[in-house]
Structure 1
Amino acid sequence: MAYETIALLMFSSMMLMMITGQRVFGAIGFVATASALMLWGTGGSDMGFQAIMKLMKWNALLTLPMFVFMGYVMSESRLADDLYRMFHVWFGPMPGGLAIGTILLMVLISAMNGLSVAGMAIGATIALPELVRRGYDKPMISGVIQAGSSLGILIPPSVVMVLFALIARQPVSQLWLAGILPGLLMAVLFILYIALRCRLNPALAPPLSAAERAQITRREKYALLRAGILPFLIFAAMMIPFIKGWASLTEASVIGALTSVAAAVLRGRFTREVFEVATRQTLAITTMFMLIIMAALSFGAVFDGLGAGRAIQGFFSDLGLSPFQILILMQLSFLIMGMFLDDTAMLVIVAPIYVGLAKVLGFDLIWYGILYTITCQIAYLTPPFGYNLFLMRAMAPADFTLPVIYKSVLPFVGVMLLTLVLVMIFPQIALWLPQTVYAR
């Protein structure tokens, strides 16, 4: 059997297992192990052990539990409540103000946790009930919370970028810096869309009434601004030592985790329950990611051993397309896969192929990592199997049906696609900050 046929069977088998609901690491690991044993006999079993040893040598992987723990401490200790109250007071008087405040809340939460699921949990428990009580349009509520929470995988410290950096062998610090401006650009475009839509149709997002505004004193408004300082302090305490070279990436992640705990303690909200939930969730998510990466390394070794990556590169070259046209096809394939797979599965499937292809075509892999991350954001929101769609359905009231949730994300997916196109056309949106910082 030709190696190209074997590679196609591996890929299709893995896709079939994932579509039928098998766990990602199980599907990838099973196909990799079975293929290695059938191709190379008992010697193929060494690939799994080599993957484990390679995994244990990646010091950057130690940052993963730290960032996950930091995000869950901030979420479970309800420190985001103060932030939302601040945005409620300052932006509530304008049409769509609470929706804009929700996006800004998500930006700050993203700078503290690096996970989309944490943003979803905060948005669904804090913002959603208030937006419903204020009479906001259901599709507007659903779209704002889902789109805003997805910023957690683009704005540092992004866990998705850590995984991409590990597999693509790129500096995590540069990927984080490269994600800041595209993340802020996307947030600004979200806000512009909300403001324009609500100006054209104020009934979608009514402002606070005059009576409610009168009850809020100027002193209270300025006192609430202090709630917005906390996320910046946590972010600065973690990032400044790292960027200045005073601390390694791993040390910076520990500083971030300890700072979040200190903030919760100072607010009197670091209870035993908070610690237990944060620890359990950190252990579960970290173990899941490690199993996925280990399976991905084994799959990539078998796939590369077959020469499948070179065959696909040759296929694109035979099409006679320009490098930028090939890049567009790669992104389109990401978008299609994102309708059925989560971000980790997408990374595992394409990283052994597309990262090498992007390098051969002469593209900057830091820039390519940002394009991949933005595509992951879109994958979180695209029907029929977008991750955030089902999280929203699980957390929202019963009247937020799946048709409402599906409809709500369409304009925000359009904004994400616009951001993706802008970053593709103008790479310096992503590359200017890391180039500037590391040129010093």
Structure 2
Amino acid sequence: MSYEMIGLLMFTSLMIMLLTGQRVFGAVGFVAAAASLALWGNGGAEMPFNASIVLLNWYPMLTLPLFIFMGYMLSESGIANDLYKMFHVFMGPLHGGLAIGTIVLMVAISAMNGLSVAGMAIGSSIALPEMLKRGYDKRMVTGVIQAGSSLGIMVPPSIVLVLYGMIARQPVSQLWLAGVFPGLLLAVLFIGYIVIRCKLNPEMGPVLPKEERDIPSWEKFKLLGAGVLPLAIVFSVTGLFMMGVTSLVESSAVGAAAALLAAIVKKRLSREVMDNTLQQTLGVSCMFMWIILAALAYGAVFDGLGAVHAIEKLFIEDWGLSPWGVLIMMQVSYIVMGMFLDDTAMLVIVAPLYIPLIIHLGFNPIWYGVLYTVTCQIAYMTPPFGYNLFLMKAMAPKEITLVDIYSSIVPFVILMVIGLGLIMAFPEIALYLPKLYFGK
């Protein structure tokens, strides 16, 4: 059997395993271990073992549980609720102001969390009921929360970019900086859409009643204080890191400590909050570690087969694609896979093939990491099995149907595709900050 056929058989086996409902790391690890034993005999058993040693030696792995702890602590202690109350009052006088405030809230949560699920949970439980109660169009606000929460995997400290950096062997610090302007670009596109849509049709985003806006000045000033703690936490993580005061691991430790201190200051640190935070942190951290371990073993088998060279020959020599043609086809394949798989599964499956090929074709792997993440955001919101679609259905009230949820994402997916095109056409959107800070 040729190496190409072996690689195709591995890929097919993995897809079948995933379709059976097996956990991602179990399916990937099983295929990797079985293939290594079949190809190289007893010596192949060393491959997963070596991958685990590599994983344990990765110093940046320390950032994962710390950032996850920070995000869940902020969510469990209700600090995000205070932040939304501030946006509620100050953005309410505008048509669509609450929707705009929700996008800004999602950016803030993303800068404190690094996961999209936290933004989705907070947006669905806090922002969605408030906007529906005030007559906002249910399809627009449903799309706003789904699109805004997807920024969690782009804006630093993005956990997805940390995973990409570990699997692709790229510096996480540069990936974080590369995600800043693309994340803000997408947020601006979302806000621009809301402003235009509500200007054309004011009934979609009515202003707040005057009695809710006319509150005493001292109370407005007090509401502004709700933004102080989140800003301090964001600065403690990304600000100190970008200033060179803390390293990547140190910034994650500072962020976790700042989130814990914020909960104490707000007098919301209880045994229940701490138990829930630690349990969720442990569960998510272990899941990510198993996935990375399986991805390393799976990638090692592909490297041993020379599958990267086979794919390069297929794309460039047999199909006659240009390097840009190969890149576009990769992005399309991510969107298609994202309809059925989550971002970690996609990364595990294609990273061993795509990332070495991208480097060989002369593209910047940091820039490509941003393209991958934007495509994951699109995949999160595309049917039939978009991750955010099901989260929204689980969290939304009964009056929001699955048809509403599916139709709500159309304009935002179009905006994301436009944003992806801009980042592809102008790589400096992603690369300016890494070049500025690291002189490359």
| 1:132 alignment counterpart | 132
Residue 315 (1) aligns with residue 314 (2): yes
| 2:207 alignment counterpart | 207
Q: How does 1:178-189 map to 2 (within 5 A)?
A: 178-189=178-189
1:241-276 deviations in Å (ceiling 9; x for gaps): 323333221111000000011111101111111111
Measure the CA separation in 2 of the matches of 1:167 and 1:359.
14
Residue 295 (1) aligns with residue 290 (2): no
> Unaligned stretches of 5+ in structure 1?
none
1:184-229 deviations in Å (ceiling 9; x for gaps): 1100110000111111111212111223323x22332233122222
| 1:35 alignment counterpart | 35
Q: Could you tell me whether the CA contact under 8 Å between 2:156 and 2:238 is conserved in 1?
A: no
| 1:419 alignment counterpart | 419
| 1:266 alignment counterpart | 265
CA RMSD in angstroms, aligned pairs only: 1.2
Measure the CA separation in 1 of the matches of 2:160 and 2:375.
12
| 1:196 alignment counterpart | 196
- List structure 1 runs of 4+ shifted beyond 4 angstroms: none
| 1:240 alignment counterpart | 239
**One-letter code of the match for 1:340?**
F
Shift of 1:154: 0.3
Once the two structures are aligned, what percentage of the paired residues are identical? 61
Measure the CA separation in 1 of the matches of 2:30 and 2:374.
29
| 1:7 alignment counterpart | 7
Q: How does 1:421-440 map to 2 (within 5 A)?
A: 421-439=421-439
1:37-89 deviations in Å (ceiling 9; x for gaps): 11112221111111110100001011000000000000000001111011100
Q: Could you tell me whether the CA contact under 8 Å between 1:380 and 1:389 is conserved in 2?
A: yes
> Unaligned stretches of 5+ in structure 2?
none
Stretch deviating more after TM superposition (69-78 or 18-27): 18-27
Measure the CA separation in 1 of the matches of 2:158 and 2:213.
37
Measure the CA separation in 2 of the matches of 1:373 and 1:199.
31
1:125-145 deviations in Å (ceiling 9; x for gaps): 111111121121111121111
Shift of 1:427: 0.4
Measure the CA separation in 2 of the matches of 1:284 and 1:165.
21
Q: Could you tell me whether the CA contact under 8 Å between 1:19 and 1:340 is conserved in 2?
A: no
| 1:68 alignment counterpart | 68
Measure the CA separation in 1 of the matches of 2:228 and 2:182.
23
| 2:254 alignment counterpart | 255
| 2:174 alignment counterpart | 174
Q: Could you tell me whether the CA contact under 8 Å between 2:89 and 2:212 is conserved in 1?
A: no
Give the TM-score, by structure 1 length: 0.98
| 1:389 alignment counterpart | 389
| 2:16 alignment counterpart | 16
| 2:278 alignment counterpart | 279
Measure the CA separation in 1 of the matches of 2:196 and 2:36.
55
| 2:326 alignment counterpart | 326
Stretch deviating more after TM superposition (399-408 or 85-94): 399-408
Indicate how the Cα distance of structure 1 residues 407 and 273 shifts in structure 2: closer, same or farther if over 3 A, else same.
Answer: same
